[in-house]
Structure 1
């Protein structure tokens, strides 16, 4: 194999290696794309089930399901439930794509499904940085013509009681404290909660981790999510969830910077931001953070 930068790297279809540590490297050929499985000799793998190939917006990638995880970020009532005023949008389309395509495909391939969700404890609340109070406690709109109206304190913020809300069937429920752990507003959306609970009787149950920052892999400490990935030898992360340009992006960037393979499933993500925000995420993801694929590609892989 040639090494990137080697004068022989472009000869024919000989694999080119990216990475200086043989145990943590990729290989590339123009016809097969990038191999992310970290196997020094792909021909020695025990079966085709240990390698699947996904189409991306640039070149195919081959991954090892046993070293991969489908990461679903913030698909919670707070962001999706109509009871909290969330209109049908990209997040709901992403939820449907996950339930009908990505999750079944991941399960069939043996890829671990991981939910990362807001769920702040009281101890964590006491030391949260002020930016989070601004994000979730202020109405921010730079487009307003009056400068005095561009940032306004809202009646509640993180940790404040949200009160009673009325569900689609007319039932009423206490929404709980905003973004705090074990509250209705931080529970998975109904459909994903049912899917999560059903998985607990399977051979590879879905797992869930709480986060207390925009990123689920922020570098300020060793998160349970990061420790789980390391302990289970997971190196490739397929990202989905809401919002594409916020918590999904924040976690994806940190994952890439920490050495994980980052793959964005574009139809498994959604946002309430303007379209250019997702376009920028996709543009930079395929160029500098990793790859852009889709739930459909996972089904076909």
Structure 2
């Protein structure tokens, strides 16, 4: 008969990286997940990755960037391009969750006191010191721009993060700078990262570059990414990803490949 007091229990934030322990023993072996290869095509090249070691990072699909009452809209930017990834992500994310792929929401979410932000970051968005920059209230609803916990930093309602999704706040263009993102990915035993969100040529690209520098395999999802920058910026981003950092595919291609696998 099993003795509950001596049974080993799982110790770890992620089942993918946990020990089995009791008072007398520690089992540090990890059980490898069953491989689930998925193959997509990037131009003429077939690319296969393992869903069991994959996560998707959705960058900055938040009210300040994608809502018609958010910060970008307030300063005169047309946010309709930034809303383009919503529908593709609505199709893709449920399928990834069902396959056990972690969904990570990576949003600008600064400290209210902005103590970790140097003037160089503040100046980009508040060049005269009198504009509606980071941490200042939006005239339309009073939400503080890009501030953690505010409406401005929340994911747009159309995408509705679920309870088991993971949220990470970032403070620079790259989500790896001064955040816990790398530790979370390693705790999840992730090798491949799918990137989606806005702006593709700015925060998405910077985060993707850093993921590559840290040794992750990266794929940019073209239909699940967008930018409010000129079209040539997106074209350059796609070129640079393929040339230097990883591969480009689409959410629809992944859905099709997953359907073939089942």
Q: TM-score range by the shorter chain?
A: 0.7 to 0.9
Distance (Å, rounded) in 2 between the aligned partners of 1:293 and 1:70: 13
CA–CA distance in structure 1, aligned partners of residues 98 and 184 of structure 2: 21
Cα distance in structure 2, aligned partners of 1:46 and 1:285: 29
Q: 1:286 aligns to what SS in structure 2?
A: helix
Q: CA deviation at 1:154?
A: 4.8
- Pair 1:240 & 2:231 matched: no
Task: Measure how far apart 1:158 and its partner are.
Answer: 1.2
- Conservation of the 8 A alpha-carbon contact between 1:175 and 1:185: no
- Quote the Cα distance in structure 1 between the aligned partners of 2:183 and 2:38: 25
**Does structure 1 retain, via aligned residues, the 8 Å contact 2:33–2:52?**
no
Q: Give the whole-Å Cα distance in 2 for the aligned partners of 1:234 and 1:58.
A: 26
TM-score normalised over the length of structure 2: 0.79
Cα distance in 2 for residues equivalent to 1:88 and 1:160: 20
Superposition pairs for residues 79-158 of structure 1, below 5 Å?
A: 79-84=65-70, 85=73, 87=78, 89-100=80-91, 102-122=92-112, 125-138=114-127, 154-158=130-134
1:55 aligned counterpart, secondary structure: strand
Once the two structures are superposed, the pairs formed by residues 1-301 of structure 1 within 5 Å of their partners are 50-84=36-70, 85=73, 87=78, 89-100=80-91, 102-122=92-112, 125-138=114-127, 154-163=130-139, 165=140, 174-192=141-159, 194=160, 196=161, 199-200=162-163, 205-218=164-177, 221=178, 223-301=179-257
2-structure distance, mates of 1:208, 1:75:
12
SS in 2 for 1:191: coil
Q: Secondary structure at the match of 1:128?
A: coil
Q: Taking structure 1 as reference, are residues 122 and 233 closer, same or farther at Cα in structure 2, changes over 3 Å only? A: same
Instruction: Report deviation, 1:51.
Output: 1.5
Once the two structures are TM-superposed, the CA of residue 46 in structure 1 deviates from its matched residue by 8.4
Query: In structure 1, how many angstroms separate the alpha carbons of the residues matched to 2:256 and 2:205?
Result: 25
**Does the 8 Å contact 2:109/2:153 carry over to 1?**
yes
Shift in Å at residue 160 of structure 1?
1.4
By how many angstroms is 1:226 displaced? 1.0
Q: CA deviation at 1:132?
A: 1.4
Q: Alignment partner of 2:84: what SS?
A: helix
Gaps of 5+ in 2: 1-31, 258-262
The residue that corresponds to 1:171 in the other structure is none
Q: Residues 183 and 90 of structure 1: is their aligned pair in 2 closer, same or farther, counting only changes over 3 Å?
A: same
Aligned to 1:40: none
Deviations 1:122-180 (A, max 9, x none): 35x11312221122113xxxxxxxxxxxxx555221111223x2xxxxxxxx3421111
The 3-state SS of whatever aligns with 2:232 is: helix
| SS of structure 1 residue aligned to 2:218 | strand
Q: Distance in 2 between matches of 1:57 and 1:68?
A: 21
Change (3 A) 1:254 1:58: farther
Runs of 4+ in 1 over 3 A off after TM superposition: none
Contact 2:56 2:194 in 1 (8 A): yes
What residue ranges of structure 1 are gaps of 5+ in the alignment? 1-44, 139-151, 166-173
